[in-house]
Each structure stands twice: as structure tokens, then as C-alpha cells.
């Protein structure tokens, strides 16, 4: 009897283990029933309080999985196997995923609040008519400087970075499109040029910047600048906002010649399954009060102009992150380049880094 009981208990334990394992596997693939939304997002890129609020209002539980690059997100979705309902590609990646038939068109009849978005942030070249994407956050590439070393208002042009007074003073974000991009702009060229002569000239000009470059770094640039390790940096506005929150001597400027205007966007990947939850979430995020709360949490610029009006006055009036229309008109959005041209950009950028 004891042997029988022990065997029976062992069988029950095995069954329970299999059930638990199956449940965990189901969760890991995002398929936990119809009352869920599987969000594939950048890390720490939505206010957790909003997810709680959404769940309470709608009954949909949000499963969040994160990625650290557009390319990693693209590969995971292309491989399939995980039922992501919404993802957050950047501008050029929307264009690439659309071309590769990896996105589902938005059903505009199910969307509310689309008129909240500013015209400057809609109908961009990477998604004409916003057929596949809704702008989530936007920003720019620019120059961060420390007013303990650089006089406020004195650094307003890309070409000033080549001045001898900034020798070994500049940190650059490690990004081929952005670094070659500002060199191209400083020469009057497009950030999307496919002209090899222009690209080589931009790289050669970067080589002449090398004596001024203290380091080419990735995420740690935020820490270095916040701690005063360099007087000047070239980085994105979102990261500049984080630095400035830690060091009141830091300032951000978009050079007068123009710069890159980047977007992160909400889109529906081909793996999507829970469409009622998807449109409930998109409409929830379109609401001004929710978009404003999210913008305050993240610290990036919102394209939702109804939400913008709800932000604190000091945020609304900050031209570093909400520049005038004349500045917006000079900004360029990245286009998706062919694999061969992307490789050319990367090779030239690597040559510059090796030269440095």
C-alpha cells in the first residue's frame, strides 16, 4: 500500500510538474489566452503605472518582453514562434519591416484620438499616411555641453566641433548613421545619401575630427557626461535629457544646420493574435492624459500635441526638447538603406574609429 501510495504521489508530482512547465512555456511564448496583450518594447520604455491602469480599465493583462536594438527585435519577429501583438520599431525599421511584409496595416476604423498628433510627426517618409505605425516618442541628434567649460550659446554649429579648442574634449555616441550623418550635414549633404564620394568625404572629415575625440562610447556616455568626464558630446536628445537630470551644468542644442529627427513607433507585427487588446491599448495610449504621463516618466518628447498641452510649463517651454517649427523644418529622418549601402556606412565608420 505504501509503495502504491508513493507511486501514486510520484505520478501526481510528475503531472503537476508537466502542467507547470506547460504553463510556463505558454507564458514565455505569450499565448496565455484571449485577455492578454503581448508587448515587445525597448527596456524601461513605458510607465509601469500605465500598464496597471490599462489592465484595470480593460481587463487585459500585458506581458512585456524587451529588446535592446532594432535589429534584435527584427530578427526575433522574423523568426516567428512568439505571438507579439505590438512592437516599437524606430523610423527606418518601420520601413524595413513593411518592405519585408512583417507588419499588419492599422485598421483606422478602430482607432480613436489620432487627431491628437501634430502634423510635423505624421505622414513621414518611412510610413506615408501612417498606414502601419503610430508615433510613440520622437527626438533629435545634437550636441551636449557642460557650461563649466563651454560658454552657453557659443556652440551652435556642427563645424565648431572641429575647432582646436575642443582637443580631446568630445565624446561621440557609437552609431554609424549618426556620426557619419552629422559629418554629412556639416558638408551640406543628406543623411540618407547613397553617393559613395560624399560618404568617403564625410569619413575623411571625421578623420580630421579625431584629435578632438576623447572617446566613442555606447550607453556609458550618459554616466561619463553626468560625471563631468568630458565638456562636449554628440548624442540623442533622449539620452541628453537623462544626463541633464543628473547634472545641472549640462545643456543640449540642435545645430542650426539641421540634424536627424528620430521616431520610435507603435506597430502591429505579423505575429499578432489579440486584436481587441491591441486596439484597446493603442486607443489607451492615444489618450492625452496617458501619453502625457508616459512622457513625464520617460523624459522623451511626445508627438501627441493634446498630451503636450498637459505637460508642466517648464517642459513645454524647453526648446532643447520641443524646438520651434523652424528647427523642425531643418531636421531629416533616416530612410532604410539597402544592405549593401548599410555595409558601406558601417565600413567607413569602422575606418574612422580605427583612425581615432
Residue 183 domain flag: yes
Same domain, yes or no: 213 and 280: no
> For residues 94, 96, 98 and 103, what is the CA-based torsion angle, rounded to 10 degrees?
-70
**Which of left, alpha, beta for 244 (phi over 0: left; psi -120 to 50: alpha)?**
alpha
Is residue 17 one of the residues assigned to a domain? no
Residues 86 and 99 reside in one and the same domain = yes
Same domain, 128 and 44: yes
Within 10 Å of residue 167's Cβ, how many Cβ atoms? 11
**Mean pLDDT to the nearest integer, 123-144:** 97
If pLDDT is split at 50, 70 and 90, which confidence band does 81 have?
confident
Same domain, 200 and 229: yes
* Least confident window among 30-44, 201-215, 227-241, 271-285: 30-44
pLDDT band at 292 (very low <50, low <70, confident <90, very high): very high
The answer to whether residues 60 and 104 touch, using CB atoms and an 8 Å cutoff, is: no
Same-domain status, 242 and 273: no
Q: 56 and 159 share a domain? A: no
Query: In terms of domains, do 201 and 268 share one?
Result: no
- Reported as type and span, the H/E element at residue 140 is strand 133-146
**Is residue 22 assigned to a domain?**
no
Whole-number pLDDT of residue 33: 63
For residue 19, tell me if it sits in a domain. Answer: no
The DSSP code sequence of 106-123 is P-GGG---GGGB-GGGSS
Helix (H/G/I), strand (E/B), else coil: 332: strand
Same domain assignment for residues 107 and 42: yes
pTM: 0.85
In the chain, alpha helices (H): 2-28, 48-58, 70-79, 91-99, 176-186, 196-209, 221-226, 237-246, 275-286, 288-298, 305-308, 313-316, 325-328, 339-355
The boundaries of the domain holding residue 200 are: 139-261+324-354
d(C-alpha 356, C-alpha 353), whole Å: 5
**92 annotated as a binding-site residue:** yes
Residue 133 lies inside a defined structural domain of this protein: yes
Going by the DSSP 8-state scheme, the letter that residue 39 receives in this structure is E
The reply to whether 252 and 182 lie within a common domain is yes
Partners of 140 in the β-ladder: 261
Percent of the chain at pLDDT exceeding 90: 87
CATH number, domain containing residue 76: 3.40.190.10
Average the pLDDT over 108-122 and give the result: 97
User: What does the pLDDT look like over 315-330, one tens digit per residue?
Assistant: 999 999 999 999 999 9
| pLDDT tens digits along 6-59 | 444 444 444 444 443 334 333 444 454 689 999 999 999 999 999 999 999 999
In the chain, how many domains are there?
2
Q: If pLDDT is split at 50, 70 and 90, which confidence band does 219 have?
A: confident
**What confidence category does residue 355 fall into, taking pLDDT thresholds of 50, 70 and 90?**
confident
Cα–Cα distance for residue pair 320/152, rounded to 1 Å: 13
Amino acid at each position: 500500500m505504501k509503495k502504491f501510495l508513493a507511486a501514486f504521489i510520484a505520478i501526481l508530482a510528475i503531472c503537476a510538474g508537466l502542467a507547470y512547465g506547460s504553463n510556463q512555456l505558454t507564458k514565455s511564448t505569450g499565448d496565455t489566452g484571449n485577455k492578454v496583450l503581448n508587448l515587445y518594447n525597448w527596456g524601461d520604455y513605458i510607465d509601469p503605472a500605465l500598464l496597471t491602469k490599462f489592465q484595470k480599465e480593460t481587463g487585459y493583462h500585458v506581458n512585456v518582453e524587451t529588446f535592446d536594438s532594432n535589429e534584435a527585435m527584427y530578427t526575433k519577429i522574423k523568426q516567428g514562434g512568439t505571438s507579439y501583438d505590438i512592437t516599437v520599431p524606430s523610423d527606418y525599421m518601420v520601413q524595413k519591416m513593411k518592405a519585408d511584409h512583417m507588419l499588419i496595416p492599422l485598421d483606422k476604423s478602430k482607432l480613436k484620438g489620432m487627431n491628437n498628433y501634430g502634423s510635423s510627426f505624421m505622414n513621414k517618409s518611412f510610413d506615408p499616411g501612417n498606414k502601419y505605425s503610430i508615433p510613440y516618442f520622437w527626438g533629435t541628434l545634437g550636441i551636449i555641453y557642460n557650461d563649466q567649460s563651454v560658454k552657453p550659446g557659443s556652440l551652435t554649429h556642427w563645424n565648431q566641433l572641429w575647432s582646436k579648442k575642443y582637443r580631446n574634449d568630445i565624446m561621440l555616441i557609437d552609431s554609424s548613421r549618426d556620426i557619419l550623418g552629422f559629418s554629412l550635414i556639416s558638408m551640406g549633404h543628406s543623411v540618407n545619401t547613397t553617393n559613395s564620394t560624399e560618404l568617403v568625404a564625410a569619413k575623411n572629415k571625421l578623420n580630421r575630427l579625431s584629435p578632438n575625440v576623447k572617446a566613442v562610447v555606447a550607453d556609458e556616455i550618459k554616466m561619463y557626461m553626468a560625471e563631468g568626464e568630458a565638456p562636449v558630446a554628440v548624442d540623442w536628445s533622449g539620452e541628453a535629457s537623462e544626463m541633464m537630470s543628473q547634472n545641472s551644468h549640462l545643456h543640449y542644442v540642435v545645430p542650426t544646420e539641421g540634424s536627424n529627427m528620430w521616431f520610435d513607433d507603435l506597430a502591429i507585427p505579423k505575429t499578432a493574435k489579440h486584436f481587441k487588446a491591441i486596439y484597446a491599448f493603442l486607443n489607451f495610449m492615444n489618450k492625452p492624459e496617458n501619453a502625457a504621463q508616459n512622457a513625464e516618466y520617460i523624459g522623451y518628447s511626445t508627438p501627441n500635441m493634446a498630451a503636450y498641452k498637459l505637460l508642466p510649463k517648464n517642459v513645454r517651454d524647453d526648446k532643447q526638447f520641443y524646438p520651434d517649427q523652424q528647427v523642425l523644418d531643418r531636421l531629416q529622418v533616416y530612410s532604410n538603406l539597402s544592405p549593401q549601402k548599410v555595409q558601406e556606412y558601417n565600413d567607413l565608420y569602422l575606418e574612422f574609429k580605427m583612425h581615432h
